[in-house]
Amino acid sequence: MMKSKADEEDYWNSSKFKAFTFDDEDDEFTKKQEVEPQLPHRVFPASCFLFPAGISWSVRETASSLREQSFPKIDTTPSLPKNSSGYSLSSLFKGKEGEREMMDCAAVSLEKFRSLQEKLLLLDEAVGVHDGNVITAVLIYLKKSLSKEVLFRELESRQTALRHFIHYLTESKEQRLLLELYRALGRTEDEALLQYKEHLRITDENKRRDFLKSCVSLPFSPEDAGHVQDHYTLLERQIIIEATDRQAETGGKVEIFQKFPRRASILNMPLITTLYYCCFYHYAETEGTYSSPANIRQTFRIAEKQYFVTALAARAKLKAWHDVDALFTSRNWLGFTRKKSPLSFSRVADILSKNNAPVQVLQEYVGLVDDVELRVALAQKYKCHFIVISTYRDLKDRQLLLGYRGKVERGSEEERKIDELLSNPQIRWKN
């Protein structure tokens, strides 16, 4: 049964759908502010809507301005189908006179748009202006004057307005209403992600873990579902490691915790930070333990290169050079060993140097750099003199070797080695 014009207006302006205000008692997301002294009312032309040109009107400023502004009352109720009064929605947005007025005035009351048809046409006109401030202001009014069900239904067919509304709700942190919107639109993945983000508000690690566990069953995309599962698994493991290590540190019987006290809790740390921590404090543990680096690598499918550089940095920090050497040692099926690395050896040398590795350690890896010029440059940088000497010998460059003799310490082992090579009759120098 069709409603008359009067019935429709009574419906949309009934007590259930209050006029636009930010201090409604049923708005649990908006905190009431202290009442500021009211400025004298200003009367603006009916077509005024925007702040003056050049002033940025953010979402929060929009809300605040519309909340604090006292709008003039309009004596006549506008009716879109009828234009006898000369008033129309287009006059708010179109025409040179309307544009001038929009530039010169601060705001206009939107309460004159009472019927659903008027409000939707107002929204469509706002979208047509291509001004986000206008669209947002209209959406704020519709949010207060329409039921959620009607607003969500109408926004579904107005994608531009919908995007602005989602952005507004996100900025104003109206999580519950945004969840309802996603649910109404059938956007299950967006709804799941929004719920997942709620973990950021939970400070207690056990409650956060339980919340993440509840998120695992939400309808994420396959990729996001994997990330959420990993997040839950990681925090669960961090809680166990933290409790065990805190007890060991307090007990004072585990040498590494006494020699290198922990600087911070491992809780809520990123995955790679957790791996570094375990490579530092639990490197030798068997794969069956939660804190074993090998276990973490397997559980979270960490790439070889990422694992390698993290383990190298942790063991180098501890000056555990035997562990560093073992990382590079590879044995073939004949039993022969050689050094192999997923990183360039120049990068390896850089990491070791930053951890104050001695020359005896550095030169092993600088000597494995394939590019001759880079090898010599790195050897000179890190004072790996024997690498420079052996490289010039292999190049059979007597002049370079003679020149380098003046750069080493007099009477040093390096100088004696250079003299030995220069006097060796079996070397056929090229110059």
Res 24: pLDDT: 40
Token readout for 122 is 């107002």
Rounded to the nearest 5 degrees, what angle is found at the Cα of 412, between the Cα atoms of 406 and 413? 110
Statement: the pTM of the whole predicted model exceeds 0.75: no
Give every CB contact of residue 139 below 8 A, 6+ residues apart in sequence: 123, 161, 164, 165, 168
Token readout for 85 is 């009064």
Distances from the Cα of 208 to the Cαs of 170, 203, 241, 290, in angstroms?
22, 7, 16, 19
Res 100: pLDDT: 55
Residue 36, burial from CB neighbour count under 10 angstroms (0-12, 13-18, 19+): exposed
Residue 374, burial from CB neighbour count under 10 angstroms (0-12, 13-18, 19+): middle
Residue 385 CB neighbours (<10 A):
22
Residue found by looking up tokens 């375990």 in the block: 278
Token readout for 23 is 């201090």
DSSP 8-state class, residue 4: P
Distances from the Cα of 237 to the Cαs of 278, 290, 311, in angstroms?
12, 7, 19
Q: What are the residues facing 330 on neighbouring strands?
A: 338
Res 111: pLDDT: 83
DSSP codes, 134-200: HHHHHHHHHHHHS-HHHHHHHHHT-HHHHHHHHHHHHHTT-HHHHHHHHHHHT-HHHHHHHHHGGGG
Closest CA to 77 of 12, 131, 123: 12
Q: What is the mean pLDDT of each run of 10 residues along the chain (431 residues)?
A: 47 38 36 35 32 33 39 34 40 48 49 90 92 92 94 95 95 94 94 93 95 95 93 97 95 91 94 97 93 96 96 96 92 80 95 95 95 96 96 95 93 94 92 88
Res 394: pLDDT: 94
Using the Cα atoms of residue 322, residue 325, residue 331 and residue 335 in order, give the sign of their dihedral.
negative
Closest CA to 274 of 252, 304, 241, 251: 241
**321/309 Cα distance (integer angstroms):** 15
Contact call for residues 140 and 148 (beta carbons, < 8 A): no
Token readout for 58 is 């953010």
Res 329: pLDDT: 86
Question: One-letter amino acid identity for 280?
Answer: F
Using the Cα atoms of residue 164, residue 168, residue 170 and residue 176 in order, give the sign of their dihedral.
negative
Res 59: pLDDT: 34
* Phi, psi values for residue 288, rounded to 5°: -75, -10
